[in-house]
Every structure is written in C-alpha cells, then in structure tokens.
Amino acid sequence: MGEREEEAEGVDKARIPLLRDEDEAKEEDGETKREIWMETKKLWRIVGPAIFTRVSTYSIFVITQAFAGHLGELELAAISIINNVIIGFNLGLLLGMASALETLCGQAFGAKKYEMLGVYMQRSWIVLFLFSILLLPMYFFASPILKFFGQPDDIAELSGTIAVWAIPTHFAFAFFFPLSRFYQCQLKNKVIAISSAVALVAHIFVCWLFVYGLKLGVIGTMATVNLSWWLNVFILFTYATCGNCPLTWTGYSIEAFTELWEFAKLSASSGLMLCLEYWYYRILIVMTGNLEDTKIAVDALSICMSINGLEMMIPLAFFAGTGVRVANELGAGNGKKARFAMIISVMQSLIIGIIFSVLVVYLRDQIGWIFSSSEIVINAVNNLSILLAFTILLNSVQPVLSGVAVGSGWQSFVAYINLGCYYFIGLPLGFVMGWIFKSGVRGIWAGMIFGGTTIQTLILIFIVMRCDWEKEAHKASVRVEKWSNSEARK
C-alpha cells in the first residue's frame, strides 16, 4: 500500500505543472480575447461613424452621378470625368494634406496636449486654403486639359462647363477635411456622422428639385453638390466654435500663422503620399478615354470606380481609425499597443473586403442598373466585375497600412514607395497590357492592379512587420514635445 500511495502522490505531483500550464493558457487566452474586444471597441468608436460619414459624403457624388446618368450618356460621361478626375485629383491632394493632422493631433491627444489640436486645425485651414488657390487652374482650364489627354471634344467641353461650377466644392474641402480630422483625433466622431447625414438628406431633396423640378440639367446637379458640402462645413464649424470642444478649441490663435513652413512640409508629404494613391485610378479613367467606343468604356469604368469608391469608404474609415489609434498609442508611449491596434484593424478590414468582393461577383448583372439604363453599358460593367471584386479585396488591406504610416509619421518615406510602385511599375504595365497586347480597359486595369497596388501592399506589409514599435513610440514623444515646446516659447 505504501508504494502505491507514493506512486499515486508522484503522479499527482507530476500532473500539477500540466494543470498549472493549462490554467495559465486559459487565462492568457481569456486575456487575449479581452484585449481584442477592448481594441475592437476603441477602433469601432472611430471606424463606425467614419464609415457612415465617408459613405454619406461620397454618396453626394454618387447620387449626383446617378441623376446625371439618367439625363443621357454624354451627361453621365461628363459628370463622371469631373467627379473622378478633376474633383478627384484635387480632393485626393487636400484630403492627404489634411491627414497631417492625424499625425500631429492624434499624437498630441495621446500625450494629453489637448490645446494643440485647435492650433493645428487653424494652421491646416490656412495651408489648405492657399493650396486650393494654386489648384484653381485645373477647373478653369478643364476642357483643354481633358482634350490634351485624349477625351472627345463633346465630353471635354461639357466637363469644362461643369468644372467651373465645382469650384465652391473645391474650397469646401479645404475646411471640411481639417475639421473632420480635428474631431476624429479627439474621438468626437458622432458629430461628423450627424453632420454628414444632414448634408446627404438635404442633397437628395435639392438634387431632385434642381434636376426634375426646376429642369436645370447637369449644371443643376453640380450646384447641389456645392450646397451640400458647404452645409456640412457650416455645421461642423459652428459646433466646434460654440463651446462644445472646451479642451481642444480655445479660440482663434495668432499662433496658427507661425511655423507654417514646417507644417506645410508635413502636409505636402501627407498629400503626396495619399494623392499618389488617390490619383492612380483616376488616371485609369483618363487612359480609357483614348480607347475605341470611348463613351461606353468611360461610362462602364466610371460606374465601377463609383462602386469601388463607395465601398472604399469602409477601408478609408479603417485608414482613419488606424491612424488615430496608432498615433494615440505612440503619443502615449505604448509601442506594443500601437502594433496590436494595427493588427486588429487590418484583420477586420480584410474580412469586410472579402464579403463585399463576393457580393460584387454575385450581383454583377444588377449593379450597373443603378447608374445607367443602357444595356450596352450594363454589359460592359458586367465584364469588369471580376476586376472590381479583386480591387475591392486588395484595397481592404492597403489603405489600413497607409493609416499606420500616417499615425507613425512615415508620410515622406511611403510617398516614395507609392511613386515607384504606382507610376514606374503599375502605369507602364497597364499601358502595355491595354495597348500593346490590345486588352482594352480590362488590360489597363489589370496591369495597374497587379503591377502597382499589389507590389505596394506587399512592401508596406514587410515594413510594418519589421518595425521597432518601441522606437517609434520614442520618436512620437520627441515630436510632441518639440511642437508643444515651440508653441510654449512663443
């Protein structure tokens, strides 16, 4: 009996470490699930309203395009060119320049330097307004520019007329984007969502009134865009300046006119990084204008780009959420949490991208009817649906990684990557497949996807996986102190 008791006791002792390891594994598993849940809540506090906001603001252009599409094929092609090329080019640049606030405001908020957010926003208004003035020639000379790039005369002439009416919207961007970043970085995202909802509802009503009630045609559709965007700016500006942001808005400051050159350089780097991405597929529209059956090709591709752009609002919301979360954690000195936030954001955006890619393939016969009644155009859209689905899938990852770059302050470095991948690899490959191999719009699009976007995404994945996040946290702390001390000295 003694030997058996000793053997039993030995077995029990041998099992204790195994039981302890199992309990520890369960505790670690439970802790990991809690961390994922907590990070998901923090992320979606930004991403949820941001998706609604971006879908609402982008829907203003989609609804405008849909109204124009039912006026005629020429009107659809002209408004598509303006929305996707002229406005798209400038929107991409100003949106990118405003993302400098995600780095500065996000890290300052994480470091509890709240008063700096209002100063940064005012400085961004000044810089973006000045750049908006420099970009005006694109609107005044839209017709000759489009003719130079091979657009037919009738499309170019009507586009030039519409472009002049788009100038008020152009200046609205210079104020809206800094306001939205100002709210996002302090987690007041519901304000932007409510404002965008009001502007969207107003746009639908006014668009119907101008087009069908007052019979103002395609010019009337662009006039409604101006009203909707400026209504959005007015609501956000009023909320910020009427005491609803007491920590971050302390009134107008003369300091906004100082350090403008340093701020402009960071804004320019941010703008270059993002507009190189944003312009990429806009150039696809211009290249398509040189193919045979131009109107049909442009209409079909514009419809696909509108659908892609609408869905793109989701990964762009993750772009904003990732940028803010990474910037907040780096500003607070938490490198590991910044990395964890990045991983959660990429995985969740990818899952959503997979779902929408499957939906596009499944509904490929129906999606064209939203924008056109032409059977030829709808069939052309159907032929591009697989490329559209793959683009949506790829774009569910790439913008999120760009958000990591913004939150970390890597804009200048990533701008070089974008320039090389998109314009030295993607565009030439698209040209070769489209014209040399005579694959048309499908060849151009496929070359740009596989040659540019795919390579750029793989490079960004390599960079973030090799990143020393504790070192990045230290850099963020130094950056916050540098900018805060420069303001304090003044």
CA distances from 74 to 88, 114, 358, 435, 456 (A): 19, 50, 32, 25, 35
Entry pTM: 0.77
How high is the pLDDT of residue 343? 92
By residue count, the chain amounts to 490
Token duo for residue 134: 């420099």
How far apart, in whole angstroms, are the C-alpha atoms of residue 62 and residue 393?
A: 21
Instruction: Report phi then psi at 363, rounded to 5.
Output: -105, 20
pLDDT tens sequence across 360-372:
888 887 777 777 7
Amino acid identity of residue 304, one-letter, is: C
Contact between 422 and 452 (Cβ < 8 Å): yes
Q: Where are the domains of the chain?
A: 38-489
The radius of gyration of the chain from alpha carbons, rounded to an integer in Å, stands at 25
pLDDT computed for residue 279 by the predictor:
73
User: For residue 199, how many other CB atoms are within 10 A of its CB?
Assistant: 25
- DSSP, res 289: T
Classify burial at 282, counting beta carbons within 10 Å of its beta carbon; exposed 0-12, middle 13-18, buried 19 or more. buried
Q: Say which amino acid occupies 384.
A: L
Phi, psi values for residue 249, rounded to 5°: -120, 105
Closest CA to 338 of 155, 218, 476: 476
Mind listing the pLDDT tens digit for each residue in 5-62? 555 445 444 445 544 455 566 666 667 888 889 989 888 988 888 888 888 888 888 8
User: How far is 343 from 345, CA to CA, in rounded Å?
Assistant: 5
- Rounded Cα gap, residues 454 and 387, in angstroms: 13
Token pair for 37: 């849940």
Q: At what angle do helices 260-288 and 440-448 cross, to 10 degrees?
A: 150
CA 441 to chain centre: 24
How many other CB atoms sit within 10 Å of the CB of residue 255? 16
Return all residues near 149 (Cβ < 8 A) that are at least 6 apart: 286, 289, 290
DSSP 150: T
Asked whether the beta carbons of 173 and 95 are under 8 A apart, the reply is: yes
pLDDT < 50: residue spans in the chain: 1, 8-9, 11-15, 18-20, 488-490
Cα distances from 32 to residues 37, 39, 45, 192, 395, in angstroms, run 9, 11, 20, 32, 28
